[in-house]
Amino acid sequence: MRTTIIALWFVLSAACVPALCSSEETPVLQLGAPTESRSRFAALDDVRLLANGLLQLGQSLREFVHRTKGQINDILQKLNIFDQSFYQLSVLASEIKVEGEELKKTTVVLKANNDQIKDLSAQMNSKMDSILQEKGQLQNKVEGLEKKLSSLTHGLVTSEQAAEISGLKNVIHTQEQSIIELLNAVKEQNDQINHQRTKIKLLEEKVANTLTQETIEKMHENFNSEAPTLTPFLTSSSSSNPKIMNLPLDCSELFNRGQRVTGVYTIRPNRSEPFMAFCDMSKDYGVTVIQQRKDGSVNFDQTWERYENGFGYFHGEFWLGLRKIHSLAAQGNSVLRIELEDWKQVRHFIEYRFYLDGPETNYTIRLMHLSGDLPDPMSNHTGMMFSTKDRDNDNHQDLHCAHSYTGGWWFSACGDANLNGRYFHMRPKGRSERRRGIQWKPARKASYLLKLTRTHFYLMWGYPIL
């Protein structure tokens, strides 16, 4: 660019010098060359040189503008990537901060317990010393009595007194044995207290470790652990029991009876065996929650038996169980509502007319889309059976979707939708790893992984069918 401008400056200087000279010197006439035509051709040459210089200048400016635009676009892309990474780090930092506050509270409680245990240990040691002193005194008294009795035995003690003395010896011996047992018990309790103090010290050392590492290890442990089983069906010896007969069919009926507190209740859908369910009463109607994901604390890569009976924690993450969901859906006129929330607290939902067959068909699902602002990847899942890592019922001939993608679901072909996949706090880099996560995408898109903080399934009865 600089070279082009210097060249143009020389061209302009060359074009201007003749004009200056012509104004100061007397022109020399030459024969056969008219002065007027020569000056015209000289001006045309100068214009051509000037035009070429301007063209080169314009081309250089255009190249410079293109290069500048490319550099600006690269900077904007890098800034966008930096913003995304910074947001993910801020979310993780807030979680680590919350975990740190909880660990601080736990440390305070452990220190208070440690002080109490120290006081108890000191009291037990003092009691143990006093018992030992009393034992020594009793032994001295017993030895003195035995000497006196031995001296008085010869002719001075009757048979009745001897028997009484013998009984007294037995009582003293029994008391001595009780004291020995009490001392052993005190010693065992003291050993247990010392063991508890050792445990508390180890816990304090763990709390002092790096919070980030502890959080990651905790999430990894929870992911690999076996999820707890939910409360099974509640059986009763008498099906005609008035309390059993009066149980609501589901949470919507409980709402209609006037209950407005969200929590765990006993329901009895379709007059089946009653069971515990989590009822959400925060809307204008009661809903029965059959699945919930919000923090990755429960591993959803479970077996067929656990997906059939249910697992997790009602106030955390859980799967209600296929048997219970079937008893709910068998009542008819049910709506399945799926709510998803991203890391920016933006919520979306989709609703289906819903029916679920029984275990004889491996819980085949039947759906009809009703409404919502989410894409509908479940339209091709109607008529699909449920699959888990130990039972393959999907339509994929060459791949076991539940085993490869983790989590039980109604798989058609792998990858369209799976709300029971692995929970990721940050987007994995590898494509194969992302496929194992929670997904909700249209069938025609190549790859889409939904990042969630919570996912809920709601089952609603008496909800208006659109």
Question: What is the arithmetic mean of pLDDT over 440-450?
Answer: 55
Question: What is the arithmetic mean of pLDDT over 100-114?
Answer: 79
Give the range among 156-170, 256-270, 360-374, 435-449 with minimum mean pLDDT. 435-449
Closest by Cα among 389, 195, 189, 416 to 307: 389
Q: Is 317 part of a structural domain of the chain?
A: yes
Q: Is 264 part of a structural domain of the chain?
A: yes
Q: State what percent of residues in the chain have pLDDT above 90.
A: 22
Domain count, the chain: 1
Kind and range of the H or E run holding 204: helix 159-207
What pLDDT shows up at residue 126?
Answer: 80
Give per-residue pLDDT as tens, 14-57. 554 444 444 444 444 444 444 445 555 557 888 888 889 899 99
Closest by Cα among 207, 296, 211, 288 to 253: 288
Question: What is the arithmetic mean of pLDDT over 62-75?
Answer: 88
Residue 17 CA neighbour count, 13 Å, CB half: 6
Give per-residue pLDDT as tens, 116-168. 777 777 777 787 777 778 777 777 777 777 777 666 655 555 677 677 777 77
Determine the structural domain holding residue 424 and report its residue range.
Answer: 251-459
Report how far residue 156's alpha carbon sits from residue 40's, in angstroms, rounded to the nearest whole number.
168
* 253 pLDDT above the threshold of 80: yes
Q: Is 335 part of a structural domain of the chain?
A: yes
Q: What b/e string do you get for 263-297 counting C-beta neighbours within 10 Å, with b at 16 or more?
A: eebebbbeebbbbbbbbbbeeebbbbbbbbbeebb
Tell me the residue type at 414.
C
Q: Is 386 part of a structural domain of the chain?
A: yes
Q: Is 156 part of a structural domain of the chain?
A: no
Higher-pLDDT residue of 340 and 442 is 340
Residue 340 CA neighbour count, 13 Å, CB half: 21
What pLDDT shows up at residue 302?
Answer: 94
Tokens of residue 58, six digits = 């314009």
Q: Is 58 part of a structural domain of the chain?
A: no
Q: Is 287 part of a structural domain of the chain?
A: yes
User: Can you give the pTM of this predicted structure?
Assistant: 0.53
pLDDT band at 395 (very low <50, low <70, confident <90, very high): confident
The Cα diameter of the chain in Å comes to: 183
Higher-pLDDT residue of 116 and 387 is 387
Q: Is 50 part of a structural domain of the chain?
A: no
**Mean pLDDT across the chain, nearest whole number?**
77
Higher-pLDDT residue of 368 and 10 is 368
pLDDT band at 13 (very low <50, low <70, confident <90, very high): low
Higher-pLDDT residue of 446 and 168 is 168
Q: List the CATH number of the domain containing 439.
A: 3.90.215.10
